[in-house]
Structure 1
Amino acid sequence: MLKNLRRWWRDAPATTLFTLTAVVVWLITAVQSRSITANLSDSALADRWLLWGPLVSADGFDWLRALGSVFLHVDLGHLAINSFLLALIGREIERYTGTPLFVMVFLTGGIGASATVLWMDYLTPTAGASGAIFALMVLLVGVSLRQGRDLRAPLILIAVNVAYTFLAASVSVWGHLGGLLTGVLMVGFVISSRSGVCWFGVSAVLAAACFAVVAV
Structure 2
Amino acid sequence: MITLRRWWADAPATTLFTLTAVAVYVITALQSRSVMDNLPGSSLGAAWVLYGPEVAQGGLDRLRALGAVFLHIDLGHVAINCFMLMLIGREIEKFAGTALYSAAFLAGGIGASATVLWMAPYNPTAGASGALFALMVLLLGIARVRGNDLRAPLVLILMNVIYTFIAPSVSLWGHLGGLFAGLMMVWFFISSRPAVRWSGVLGVLVLSCVLVLLV
Same fold (TM over 0.5): yes
Deviation at 1:185, TM superposition (A): 0.3
CA distance in 2, matches of 1:187, 1:164: 23
Equivalent residue number for residue 171 of structure 1:
170
CA distance in 2, matches of 1:38, 1:200: 40
Deviates most, 52-61 or 13-22: 52-61
Query: Aligned residues, how many?
Result: 215
CA distance in 2, matches of 1:142, 1:195: 16
Amino acid at match of 1:91: R
Identity %: 64
CA distance in 1, matches of 2:46, 2:178: 23
CA contact (8 A) 1:48 1:64 kept: no
5+ long unaligned stretches in structure 2 = none
CA distance in 1, matches of 2:214, 2:59: 10
Matched, 1:132 2:168: no
Deviation at 1:58, TM superposition (A): 2.0
Deviates most, 174-183 or 57-66: 57-66
CA contact (8 A) 2:62 2:213 kept: no
CA distance in 2, matches of 1:39, 1:4: 28
CA distance in 1, matches of 2:59, 2:2: 45
Amino acid at match of 2:44: L
User: Deviations along 1:144-167, whole A, 9 cap, x unmatched?
Assistant: 001101100000000110011011
Equivalent residue number for residue 4 of structure 1:
3
Equivalent residue number for residue 37 of structure 1:
36
5+ long unaligned stretches in structure 1 = none
Deviation at 1:133, TM superposition (A): 0.2
Superposition map of 1:29-178 within 5 A:
29-60=28-59, 62-178=61-177
Deviates most, 128-137 or 194-203: 194-203
Deviation at 1:38, TM superposition (A): 1.3
Scaled by the length of structure 1, the TM-score of the pair is: 0.98
Equivalent residue number for residue 207 of structure 1:
206
What secondary structure, in the 3-state scheme, does the structure 1 residue paired with 2:56 have? helix
CA distance in 2, matches of 1:37, 1:205: 34
Scaled by the length of structure 2, the TM-score of the pair is: 0.98
CA distance in 2, matches of 1:91, 1:118: 29
User: Deviations along 1:36-77, whole A, 9 cap, x unmatched?
Assistant: 111100111111111000010123463420000000000000
